[in-house]
């Protein structure tokens, strides 16, 4: 196996492990993410739900925000929806739009995103036209 595939697979293993820790009593849909950082470390995240549903957060954002809060630079991400059945539509394994926007802001534009059961995509493929905020001129 080529080293790149090996890296993607090892990151997916970490994402699957993180999914086991999901707090998802409302959806019972366990998701895990793993982020490889500039210092070689891997930071994991899982979805965490609230009884006030809109306050819930996806696994990908938990992993990315955790990496940032630890002073690390995220380089690559893997995500696993471990409850998706083998005959499910591919979309049931894909990162949501909100997470794609956050990935676009916190990962390099050419970053690899490995999606369990789907394959490895380049971030630009997942979100071709992201929102970008131009800072207002405050002179
Ligand atoms: N979820 C994620 O963690 N990541 C995604 O990209 C899509 C959805 C979570 C949110 C919620 O806890 C559960 O999956 C069902 O939508």
User: Residue 6 above 70 pLDDT?
Assistant: no
For residue 74 and ligand 1, the question of a CB distance below 6 A is answered with: no
Q: How far is the CA of 58 from the centre of ligand 1 (A)?
A: 5
Is 92 a residue whose pLDDT tops 80? yes
Residue with token string 């979100």: 127
Identify the residue whose tokens are 């894909």: 94
What residue has token string 């676009």? 104
pLDDT confidence of residue 5: 53
Pocket test for ligand 1, best of 96, 103, 123 (most atoms within 8 A of CB): 96
Structure confidence at residue 3 (pLDDT): 55
pLDDT tens per residue across span 16-67: 999 999 999 999 999 999 999 999 999 999 999 999 999 999 999 999 999 9
Cβ-in-10-Å burial (0-12, 13-18, 19+) of 64 comes to buried
Q: Which residues contact 92 (CB under 8 A, 6 or more apart)?
A: 81, 84
Q: What is the 3-state secondary structure (H, E, C) of 67-85?
A: HHHCCCCEEEEEEEECCCC
Give distance in angstroms: CA of 95 to centre of ligand 1: 8
Residue 90 has pLDDT above 90, yes or no: no
Domains and CATH numbers, the chain: 8-125 (3.40.140.10)
Please, are residues 109 and 96 in contact by the beta-carbon 8 Å criterion? no
Confidence of residue 8 (pLDDT cuts 50, 70, 90): very high
Using a 10 angstrom Cβ sphere, with 0-12 exposed, 13-18 middle and 19 or more buried, the burial of residue 6 is exposed
Note the pTM of the prediction, 2 decimals: 0.94
Over residues 97-139, the pLDDT tens digits come to: 999 999 999 999 999 999 999 999 999 999 999 999 987 665 5
Helix and strand counts by DSSP (H, E) for the chain: 4, 5
């Amino acid at each position: 196996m080529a080293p790149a595939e090996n890296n993607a697979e090892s990151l997916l293993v970490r994402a699957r492990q993180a999914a086991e820790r999901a707090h998802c009593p409302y959806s019972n849909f366990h998701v895990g993410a793993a982020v490889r950082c500039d210092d070689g470390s891997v930071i994991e995240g899982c979805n965490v739900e609230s009884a006030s549903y809109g306050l819930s957060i996806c696994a990908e954002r938990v992993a990315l925000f955790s990496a940032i809060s630890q002073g690390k630079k995220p380089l690559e991400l893997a995500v696993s929806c471990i409850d998706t059945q083998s005959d499910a539509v591919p979309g049931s394994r894909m990162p949501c739009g909100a997470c794609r926007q956050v990935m676009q802001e916190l990962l390099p534009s050419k970053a690899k995103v490995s999606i369990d059961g789907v394959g490895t995509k380049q971030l630009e493929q997942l979100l071709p036209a992201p929102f970008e905020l131009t800072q207002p001129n405050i002179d």
